Every structure is written in C-alpha cells, then in structure tokens.
C-alpha cells in the first residue's frame, strides 16, 4: 500500500472496502467491476487505489506472492536506520581525520 493512500484514507475505510470487495465479488461479472462498484459506493478516488489495497491484503493473507505490509514497514525502518548509520559514520570519519591532523601538529 502506498504511503499517500494510507494517509489519505483511514485504515477502517481501507479494511471495510477490501472486505466489501471480497463479500460482493459474486454479484459482479468480474473482480474489476466489483472493485469499481465498491470504490464508487465508498467515495474512494480511483478504483486503482482500491485494487492496490485488495492486492496488498491478499499478500498479507499469503494468498498472493510479494512483500507483506509488515515486511515493507520493517524494510523502510531498516533503510532509514542504515542511512542514519552511514551519516554518523561519515561524521566519525571526518572527526577522526580532524583529530589525527591535530595530533600530527603536536
């Protein structure tokens, strides 16, 4: 699920919409028709947004391959941590060069 859609729509709405797609699938000629109908009824901007929620719910339920929401969240956290550690490492390298130069002057 994209970060933008998770901010724009409350999680309760996303969960309800995905559940409605699952429950009303038999009432429509295709999954896409179901998604369009539910998106329209719930005022979701585009059916494509709802489709991405449905696909992510299927991944989370291990019904479809891909990275689960928990895995994506953990990956984002780890990437941010790596970025911060690299930044701290660069600061420490600069500081060690500075202090080494100071010791050489003495």
Q: Are residues 27 and 55 both part of a single domain?
A: yes
> Residue 71's domain spans which residues?
67-106
pLDDT value, residue 63? 95
The residues near 79 (Cβ < 8 Å, ≥ 6 apart) are none
Instruction: State CA 37 to chain mean position distance.
Output: 25
Q: Are residues 9 and 56 both part of a single domain?
A: yes
Output the domain CATH number for residue 46: 1.10.10.10
pLDDT value, residue 6? 54
Q: Are residues 52 and 92 both part of a single domain?
A: no
Low-confidence ranges of the chain (pLDDT < 50): 2, 5
pLDDT value, residue 90? 97
Task: Please report where in the chains the tokens 């996303």 appear, as a residue.
Answer: 14
pLDDT value, residue 4? 53
- How many domains does the chain divide into? 2
Q: Are residues 9 and 43 both part of a single domain?
A: yes
Nearest to 43 by CA among 10, 71, 69, 67: 10
d(C-alpha 95, C-alpha 87), whole Å = 12
């Amino acid at each position: 699920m994209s970060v933008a859609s998770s901010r724009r729509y409350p999680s309760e709405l996303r969960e309800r919409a995905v559940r409605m797609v699952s429950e009303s699938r038999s009432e429509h000629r295709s999954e896409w028709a179901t998604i369009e109908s539910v998106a329209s009824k719930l005022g979701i901007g585009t059916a494509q947004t709802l489709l991405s929620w449905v696909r992510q719910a299927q991944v989370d339920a291990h019904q479809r391959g891909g990275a689960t929401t928990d895995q994506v969240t953990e990956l984002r956290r780890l990437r941010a941590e790596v970025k911060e550690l690299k930044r701290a490492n660069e600061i420490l390298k600069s500081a060690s060069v500075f202090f080494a130069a100071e010791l050489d002057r003495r």
